[in-house]
Amino acid sequence: MMRILLFLGTNLAVIVVASITLRLLGVEGYLRGQGINFNALLIFCFIVGMAGSMISLFISKWMAKRSTGTVVIDTPSNATEKWLLDTVAELSREAGIKMPEVGIFPAQQSNAFATGWNRNDALVAVSAGLLNRMRPEEVRAVLAHEIGHVANGDMVTLALIQGVVNTFVMFFARVVAHLVDNFLRSRSDGAGLGFMGYFAVVIVAEIVFGIIASAIVAWFSRFREYRADAAGAQLAGSGAMINALARLKAETQMPDQMPDTLRAMAITKGQTKSLMERLFASHPPLDDRIRALKEAAYR
């Protein structure tokens, strides 16, 4: 449950903070007495919603390095690091993208992630545990999965979807607050919500709509995992990709050390049990991903 709360909190943080700041500064000029300028409101929400999402995208590599302790390999210091750079370079050429930065982060769980603001300026990182315990062909498959994310432009697309979702969360939250204010005015001789009341209704509505919106973003995140698995299978072989996912499944009892802000970009376990966990999970269950690869191999 804590992971779900943190995941939702990350998605909601930008729009809630923006709402508080802009409301206190009096920027929300789309309300005029009893009326509401829907065009101005939508433009306002679009600018704020997309701005927060784009800022997060542009600083994604910097944040990833800091939050995971990733050390970028500029010059390999051993045979493993040289193999890692050579493998990523080979996969990048096959995928038709520029060589991303390559790094290692100090987690004992087998994991990896890709991030960056565009497909030719990305970062691919693997955990120390993954390098220590997986066979070379399995590591190569995991790297191919992450290269698949980069080649598919998943980071940019996810940011755009989050921006659009933020836009409508902010828009409908303010429409709800306006309707509540009008209702109270009609029932109490013109006394509406007032400044603080309106502000409180907006924040509550943003949280409620944000939870619903997070399920939409999570659905897309799960969908792109299947695409990245397919790309990994194409680049590294279906058998190697299936074996790598099976190895991740075998480690499900280990603590997950990926920061929640990067969980949607990691290959991660994807083991969920309850309906709520499945609804807000950024990754499909590993059994489903393995099944999808096997079915594709038989076609």
In a domain, 134, yes or no: no
In a domain, 4, yes or no: yes
| Lowest-pLDDT range of 21-35, 55-69, 269-283 | 21-35
In a domain, 90, yes or no: no
Per-residue tokens: 195: 């400044």
Q: What is the mean pLDDT of residues 75-84?
A: 94
Look at the block and give the residue holding tokens 């999808």. Answer: 292
Query: How distant is the alpha carbon of residue 175 from its chain centre?
Result: 27
Question: Does 29 or 213 have the greater pLDDT score?
Answer: 213
Look at the block and give the residue holding tokens 């370079």. Answer: 89
Cα(255)–Cα(233) distance, integer angstroms: 27
Active-site residues, by number, are 146
In this structure, the strands spanning 112-116 and 71-72 are: unpaired
pLDDT > 90 in the chain, percent: 36
Cα(124)–Cα(142) distance, integer angstroms: 10
* Averaged confidence pLDDT in the chain: 81
| Lowest-pLDDT range of 34-43, 56-65, 127-136, 261-270 | 261-270
Q: What is the mean pLDDT of residues 189-202?
A: 74
In a domain, 265, yes or no: yes
Q: Which domain holds residue 212?
A: 1-66+153-299
- Cβ atoms of 127 and 251 closer than 8 Å: no
Kindly state the helix (H) or strand (E) to which residue 183 belongs, with its residue range.
helix 154-187
Residue 33, pLDDT > 50, answer: no
What's the Cα-to-Cα distance from 95 to each of 158, 224, 238, rounded to whole Å? 20, 16, 16
Q: What is the mean pLDDT of residues 117-144?
A: 93
Q: Where are the beta strands (DSSP E) in the chain?
A: 31-32, 35-36, 71-72, 101-105, 112-116, 122-127
Q: What is the mean pLDDT of residues 114-134?
A: 92
pLDDT, tens only, 157-195: 988 998 899 899 989 998 898 888 878 777 766 666 776
In a domain, 30, yes or no: yes
Give this prediction's pTM: 0.80
For the chain, the domain total comes to 1
In a domain, 102, yes or no: no
pLDDT, tens only, 20-32: 665 565 555 555 4
pLDDT at 134: 92
pLDDT at 136: 94
In a domain, 117, yes or no: no
In a domain, 221, yes or no: yes
- The residues, any chain, with a CB within 8 Å of residue 43's CB and separated by 6 or more, are none
Confidence of residue 155 (pLDDT cuts 50, 70, 90): confident
Q: Residue 93, Cβ neighbours under 10 Å: how many?
A: 11
Mapped onto helix, strand or coil, the DSSP state of residue 121 is coil
Q: Where are the beta strands (DSSP E) in 7-49?
A: 31-32, 35-36
Q: What is the dihedral of CA 285, 256, 17, 170, to 10 degrees?
A: 0
